[in-house]
């Protein structure tokens, strides 16, 4: 296989937003990342796949940022500081951070260990590598080309429906870097959406979370933060009560960016406990919130009701939906909430890996910070991830106590 990752900009924008905050305020956060294949029963890995993944990760670890790439970041992200960009100019991932092997059960064992302000940039490219390698090795050349052709056919069909107005999404973006079918197909798909966007009826392709392709096609790079930041800041320091994770993150975010980068992710330890910290001040400072688990309609109603309870017009705020969306679901959500609030969508797998073979259902999550377990307790059980059941119990008890005594 050719090199999959050829630029350190082949990453999600929120990695750079979080990276600056981590470097400035939490450089002491030492973390462990763990890979999980959510389709373990149906999808196995081989020794050849694992060797190719290792080789591709080594290629990735040979990369450094180019001057023009950092100049682009400074222009499109004016909130990124000079000292942070200077740090990126000498940054290089290290293969020593990785431990990659084939487990006895035929699954990929992949661990990344190191300072989070260094290792955070590894997650998305590594998952993109795993996805592409699996498809290349699991399929014959003929099957692979046929699936690629089907991916393009479905893409063209979606674009026609956006042009005709059958789907009217308003503003939507690609969020699919980590689960793409391949780098080649991802590039062509973003080209198709960006070049046809002006023809869409009732929809606007705002951009992509992938900074490299945003730069290449002149669209907006999009993204704010991920669960890893809330896990680390809120749970990785023993002197802090993890039930107040969101408050600690909001304080750090405002210290770093003021009112910039204003979309908050609500579900890391559950949306209800998030709302305890989403005070009138915070609700005014943040431009909106992002949905990533649970029933999107219930979540949307809950957010609008919360804004109204604070005396804030929900029409001035944005609800960004990003959980397992296709265009039909996004269209229906917009029909429900449009006119009551600003609605936007981040759509991943359905854009970048919708073909005749099942996409990779995988995650690479922070499971330990400073030798302490951390957890993601989202609004649905299936998205939870933690190594330590005792810690899960502790976290749930702290949240329960807070909700009962708030």
pLDDT at residue number 383: 64
Burial class (CB in 10 A: 0-12, 13-18, 19+), 137: middle
The per-residue pLDDT for range 309-368, each reduced to its tens digit, is 999 999 999 999 999 999 999 999 999 999 999 999 999 999 999 999 999 999 999 999
**Residues 303-314 pLDDT 10s:** 999 999 999 999
- Tell me how far the alpha carbon of residue 282 is from its chain's centroid: 22
Cα distance between residue 115 and residue 26, in whole Å: 9
pLDDT of amino acid 376: 87
d(CA 341, CA 350): 24
pLDDT at 379 over 80: no
Take residue 91 and report the two structure tokens written for it: 């940054």
Confidence (pLDDT) at 406: 81
pLDDT digits (tens, 9 = 90+) for 20-33: 999 999 999 999 99
Q: Is the pLDDT of residue 134 over 80?
A: yes
The H-or-E segment that residue 68 falls in is helix 67-76
CB atoms within 10 A of CB 198: 9
d(CA 315, CA 27): 38
Task: Find the angle CA(333)-CA(337)-CA(339) to the nearest 5 degrees.
Answer: 140
Rounded to two decimals, what is the model's pTM? Answer: 0.96
Stated as kind and residue range, the H or E segment containing 138 is: helix 123-138
pLDDT of residue 378: 79
* pLDDT score of 310: 98
Residue with tokens 């996004």: 330
**Residue 21 CB neighbours (<10 A):** 23
| 387 — pLDDT class (breaks 50, 70, 90) | confident
């Amino acid at each position: 296989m050719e090199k999959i990752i050829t630029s350190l900009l082949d990453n999600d924008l929120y990695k750079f937003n979080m990276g600056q905050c981590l470097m400035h305020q939490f450089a002491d956060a030492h973390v462990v990342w763990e890979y999980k294949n959510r389709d373990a029963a149906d999808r196995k890995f081989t020794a050849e796949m694992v060797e190719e993944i290792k080789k591709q990760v080594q290629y990735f670890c040979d990369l450094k940022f180019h001057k023009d790439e950092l100049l682009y970041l400074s222009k499109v992200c004016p909130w990124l500081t000079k000292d942070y960009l200077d740090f990126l100019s000498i940054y290089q991932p290290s293969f020593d951070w990785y431990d990659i092997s084939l487990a006895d059960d035929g699954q990929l064992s992949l661990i990344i260990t190191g300072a989070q302000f260094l290792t955070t940039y590894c997650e998305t490219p590594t998952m993109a590598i795993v996805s592409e390698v699996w498809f290349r090795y699991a399929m014959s050349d003929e099957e692979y080309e046929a699936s690629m052709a089907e991916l393009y056919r479905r893409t063209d069909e979606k674009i026609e429906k956006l042009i005709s107005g059958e789907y009217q999404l308003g503003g939507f973006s690609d969020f699919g870097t980590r689960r793409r079918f391949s780098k080649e197909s991802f590039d062509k798909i973003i080209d198709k959406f960006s070049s046809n966007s002006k023809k869409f009826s009732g929809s606007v392709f705002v951009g992509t979370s992938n900074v490299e392709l945003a730069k290449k096609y002149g669209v907006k790079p999009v993204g704010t933060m991920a669960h890893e930041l809330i896990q680390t800041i809120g749970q990785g320091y023993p002197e802090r009560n993890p039930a107040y994770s969101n408050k600690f993150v909001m304080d750090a975010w405002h210290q770093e960016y003021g009112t910039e980068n204003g979309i908050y992710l609500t579900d890391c330890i559950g949306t209800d406990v998030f709302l305890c910290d989403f005070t009138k001040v915070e609700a005014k400072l943040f431009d909106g919130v992002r949905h990533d688990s649970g029933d999107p309609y219930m979540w949307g109603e809950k957010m609008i009701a919360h804004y109204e309870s604070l005396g804030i017009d929900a029409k001035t705020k944005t609800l960004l939906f990003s959980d397992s969306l296709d265009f039909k679901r996004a269209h229906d959500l917009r029909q429900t909430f449009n006119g009551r609030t600003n609605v936007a969508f981040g759509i991943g797998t359905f854009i970048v890996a919708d073909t005749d073979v099942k996409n990779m259902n995988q995650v690479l999550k922070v499971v330990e910070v400073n030798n302490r377990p951390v957890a993601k307790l989202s609004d649905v059980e299936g998205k939870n991830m933690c190594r330590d059941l005792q810690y899960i119990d502790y976290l749930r008890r702290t949240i329960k106590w807070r909700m009962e005594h708030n």
